Chains A and B, each alone.
Chain A
Amino acid sequence: MTVTETRTGPAVASPSAHLDDCPPVTVRSTVSAVRTANRLLATSAADARRHSAPAQWRDEHGERASHLMTATAQGIDTDAGALTHGLGALEEFCDRLDVLRPEHESLATRRARLVRAASSLSDPGEIRTHNEAVETLDGEIRAWNRKLEAAEDRLVPLLASADTAAEARDLAASAPDVSDLRDRLAEVVEQGPAAVARLWEGLGPVAREALLAAIPAVLGRTDGLPASVRDQANRLVLGDELRELRGRREAGTLTGEQRDLLERAEAVQNALARADRYVDPRTGDLAGAQLWAYDPRAFGGDGAVAIALGDLDTAEHVAVRVPGITNDILDTPTLTQEATNLYESARTAGRGSVASLFWLGYDAPDAAWDPATLTEGRAEDGGGRLADTVDGLRASRRDHAHLTLIGHSYGSTTVGYAMSEHRPHVEDVVVAGSPGLGADVDHASDLGVSGGHVYVARNSRDPIAMLGDQGAVSLGAVGVGLGADPSEDDFGAVRVRAEATDRAGYVGLGDHGKYFAPSSESLANIGLVVAGRGADVTRAEHSYDPWWGEPQDPERDRTPGTGATGGALEYRSR
């Protein structure tokens, strides 16, 4: 065999090229646009139906048949049914592409390697080995192409079976009964997230799309559903809200309350749009964002919202961060930015995939002067909601993710309640800038996670972190406060370094907000914990309360360092 017999690049079949040109986001965004159209048709049909003749009307004189609102409702319903049918097929196809794409990347990499190697081969033995590898790869590429063609062969006739008015009328006769599906969902919600996950798993793609079009707000808040479904649903709800309120703004009929609502919706939309463009530092692909919860009317208008960077359904490492006082839905851009910082840090720290969620699903106290800040009621209520959230995330996945719960400020008290009273399945707990984890949590072991898996980040200048009980002089002694200072030696947590290079001279409220700052010791250490590398954190000495004087914090005199949290965040242009 001679070198000229070596099969090089052109002789190796390429994996179908069009996948290179259609990153997942393009295909998914097409489907998302169709889904939004379907939602618009579903709401239009529902509006028209409210003014239509009742279905049981005995149409002896043809009034029902000639009633235009009734006929219009039926017509739009029929169109929406066809779109639902097509969407089910498209979503199934996208799921298949999600499986095929990594295989495609691997084949393309191996092919490029073989093509490169071919030009430098001269030894007959090497050439033989090379040619065998080419043969093997050739077969794998052909097999991959067959898999793609099979997915396409399934999709094309499904679309073709719903692209005429007559076909749409036929499909309407066999459409899923949405009100029945809705009742079944309501029933299993009572049984818990695992039952919800089972129901969803058992539904076909068309039934799922029908529910998304009909009741997105319900799906967007139902624990146990996949995060991707909650994201799709909440984006539809956000879109509905923005369309309605912007329409009113244009018409000049926006009330003051609606103006506030629009401001909240736009804060979420802007943050989400930016998160959608964030690029993963390791893969160079979009990390992807998920709108896991969205309710701008919750908690008297403070709103509830949760946005993740990464995929909560598949990430090996999941972080759930609970913000503290002063945060409401208008803070979504900042909270999303900090979730992105944490994602970048955890990806830099480890090799596994990551999802970083901020969860504002409880009524955080409004300000330092809010009486609720020094009492535990909000944390107690929030702890139950947080535990449900973790249970829901767990139930919606088939595999077991490494999950880290992170509480910042009053959010750490909420985490304390969730863990001590409800025991959701969590591997690691981090509290940052904590004023205490609740009166009943005076030791890390009260949180129910394995020894050494409770971490505390405390900046020595952070005044909120000084509110925790330290020895005899404490808020707890006068019946208020949020429990023990978790940075103390006898609390039993691992204290990590969390000083800021630009910290205040003695004490500064600004230091309370630096735990998720890029290149900080704190973010680097929290990223390590999220990535499952808690053993590698840089430890800090605990604070302590000596018999001879006031509480001492050894970190006060240490010169702060920096941390490896990744480079500057990269965003793809629109």
Chain B
Amino acid sequence: MNRPEIDASPDALRRAAPLWESLADDVGAAGRRLSGARDTTTAFGPRVQPALARFLDQWEASARRRSRQARGHGEQLREMGRTYTVLDVAAADELRSLLPWPGTSPTLPGAPALQDPFGRAP
């Protein structure tokens, strides 16, 4: 396959930023749920609690980190959209890494999902 062509118009950047922001919201919400679960681990008793707390801490921290990163990517795209002029090769590569993969449907969050074999979105 050839090197993918990118659509780096200001409009493409504007459409891509919410994808990252929505991802940041949802993954951040997952982290908060895990944090809530962490507060109730004592109910599992003294032999289970430490292992469960470690388990939840790990994935809460990971979710929060991924959420922060996604939000940062969204902000970066918006910034690039504002200062959009001419791209050198390095800047084009950076932009390419942030945008949706060329050819994937540029659906925004909340758009209808793909159909499943049961005839309805999962």
**Contact: B96 with A214, CB < 8 Å?**
no
A164 cross-chain contacts in B, Cβ below 8 A: 58
**Contact: B100 with A69, CB < 8 Å?**
yes
Complex alpha-carbon distance, A37 and B34, angstroms = 6
Interface residues of A, count at CB 8 A: 68
**Contact: B98 with A68, CB < 8 Å?**
yes
Segment from A53-61, A114-122, A430-438, A529-537 that makes contact with B: A53-61
CB-CB contacts of B27-62 with A at 8 A, as 1s and 0s? Answer: 101110110110011111111100110111011001
**Contact: B40 with A29, CB < 8 Å?**
yes
Interface: B88 (CB within 8 A): no
Select A50's contact among B30, B46, B48, B105, beta carbons within 8 Å. Answer: B105
**Contact: B51 with A155, CB < 8 Å?**
yes
**Contact: B101 with A70, CB < 8 Å?**
yes
Complex alpha-carbon distance, A29 and B113, angstroms = 29
A34 cross-chain contacts in B, Cβ below 8 A: 33-34, 37, 56
Select B47's contact among A43, A69, A156, A163, beta carbons within 8 Å. Answer: A156
| A-B interface contact total, Cβ < 8 Å | 162
Complex alpha-carbon distance, A66 and B26, angstroms = 23
Select A47's contact among B23, B47, B101, beta carbons within 8 Å. Answer: B23
**Contact: B45 with A152, CB < 8 Å?**
yes
Residue of B nearest to A40 (CB): B30
CB-CB contacts of A512-527 with B at 8 A, as 1s and 0s? Answer: 0000000000000000
CB-CB contacts of B82-122 with A at 8 A, as 1s and 0s? Answer: 00000000000100111111001111011001101110111
**Contact: B31 with A37, CB < 8 Å?**
yes
**Contact: A152 with B47, CB < 8 Å?**
yes
Residue of B nearest to A155 (CB): B48
Complex alpha-carbon distance, A34 and B37, angstroms = 6
Complex alpha-carbon distance, A383 and B100, angstroms = 48
A218-B118 contact given A16-B45, A22-B44, A47-B23, CB 8 Å threshold = yes
A247 cross-chain contacts in B, Cβ below 8 A: 25
Residue of B nearest to A68 (CB): B97
Select B58's contact among A18, A93, A163, A248, beta carbons within 8 Å. Answer: A163
What's the minimum C-beta distance from A82 to chain B, rounded to whole angstroms?
A: 6
Complex alpha-carbon distance, A26 and B44, angstroms = 9
Select B26's contact among A40, A58, A152, A186, beta carbons within 8 Å. Answer: A40
A83-B26 contact given A30-B40, A68-B98, A217-B120, CB 8 Å threshold = no
**Contact: A41 with B118, CB < 8 Å?**
no
What's the minimum C-beta distance from A503 to chain B, rounded to whole angstroms?
A: 45
Complex alpha-carbon distance, A75 and B23, angstroms = 12
**Contact: A243 with B29, CB < 8 Å?**
yes
**Contact: B70 with A83, CB < 8 Å?**
no
Residue of A nearest to B60 (CB): A37
Instruction: Report whether over half of chain B's contact residues are helix, strand or loop; otherwise say mixed.
Output: helix
B19 cross-chain contacts in A, Cβ below 8 A: 47, 51, 69
Interface: A223 (CB within 8 A): no
A48-B23 contact given A53-B101, A160-B51, A217-B122, CB 8 Å threshold = yes
Complex alpha-carbon distance, A152 and B29, angstroms = 29
Interface: A36 (CB within 8 A): yes
A82 cross-chain contacts in B, Cβ below 8 A: 58-59
**Contact: A182 with B58, CB < 8 Å?**
no
What's the minimum C-beta distance from A88 to chain B, rounded to whole angstroms?
A: 12
B34 cross-chain contacts in A, Cβ below 8 A: 33-34, 37
Complex alpha-carbon distance, A215 and B120, angstroms = 10
What's the minimum C-beta distance from A247 to chain B, rounded to whole angstroms?
A: 7
Complex alpha-carbon distance, A152 and B51, angstroms = 10
A557 cross-chain contacts in B, Cβ below 8 A: none
A217-B37 contact given A40-B30, A159-B54, CB 8 Å threshold = no
Further contacts, 7 of them, CB under 8 A, given A40-B29, A79-B66: A30-B44, A37-B31, A37-B59, A44-B30, A53-B101, A163-B55, A248-B110
Sample 21 A-B pairs with CB under 8 A, ordered by A number: A18-B44, A29-B40, A31-B37, A34-B56, A36-B30, A37-B33, A37-B63, A51-B106, A52-B101, A63-B3, A67-B96, A69-B19, A72-B70, A82-B59, A90-B52, A93-B48, A152-B48, A155-B51, A159-B51, A217-B121, A244-B110
**Cβ-closest 9 pairs across A and B:** A51-B100, A22-B43, A18-B45, A37-B33, A40-B30, A215-B122, A33-B37, A37-B30, A26-B43
Name B's A-contacting residues (CB within 8 A).
Answer: 1, 3-4, 19, 22-23, 25-27, 29-31, 33-34, 36-37, 40-48, 51-52, 54-56, 58-59, 62-63, 66, 69-70, 73, 93, 96-101, 104-107, 109-110, 113-114, 116-118, 120-122
